[in-house]
Amino acid sequence: MPDTATQPLEYGVLGGFRLARDGVAVDAGAWERPMAARVVRFLLVHRGFVAEDRLLEAFWPDRDPDAGRRCLAVSVSRCRAVLRQGAIAVRERSYRLALDDRDSLDSELFEAAAAAVLDRPADVQTAYALEADRDKTIVHHVA
C-alpha cells in the first residue's frame, strides 16, 4: 500500500468541493464526519491562519467554548487522518490548511493561468479570445 503522506493532494473548490490523492478521488465516506470536510473547505477559502474563535463561531455557535474546542479537535484529527498528519497547522489557537509543494488548489491554478494570459501582449490575448469564441460556436452548433 502506498504511503499516503507523500502523495500529492489535489483540492477542488470551483464547482463544488473535491479532493483527490495522487489523481484518485477521495471518497466522501473517508471523512466519517461531514464537519471535518467543512472545516477543510473553510480553511481552503480562508487562506492563512484562522483564529479558533472564528472557527467555533462558524461551526459551533451554540456550543459553550469548551465543547466547541472539543468538536474542533475531533474535526481536525479527522482532517489529518484523511489528508496527512501535518495538513492542519496550529499556532497560537489559530488553524491553517498547510498545502505543500506537491499539493494543488484548482482556484489557485485558475488564477495563475488567468494571470499568465493577462501578462501576454494584447494581440495574443485577442487571439485567445477569438479561439474561445470559435470553440463556443463549435460547441453550440454541435449541441
pTM of the predicted model, to two decimals?
Answer: 0.76
In angstroms, rounded to a whole number, what is the distance separating the alpha carbons of residues 131 and 142?
A: 16
Give the model's pLDDT for residue 25.
Answer: 95
| CB-based contact 15:47 (threshold 8 Å) | no
Give the model's pLDDT for residue 68.
Answer: 96
Give the model's pLDDT for residue 1.
Answer: 45
Contacts of 51 (CB under 8 A, 6+ apart): 93, 94
Give the model's pLDDT for residue 3.
Answer: 57
In angstroms, rounded to a whole number, what is the distance separating the alpha carbons of residues 105 and 81?
A: 19
DSSP code of residue 14: T
CA nearest to 52, candidates 32, 36, 76, 35? 76
| CB-based contact 97:86 (threshold 8 Å) | no
Mean pLDDT by 10 residues, the chain (143 residues): 73 94 92 94 95 97 96 96 93 95 91 81 60 52 40
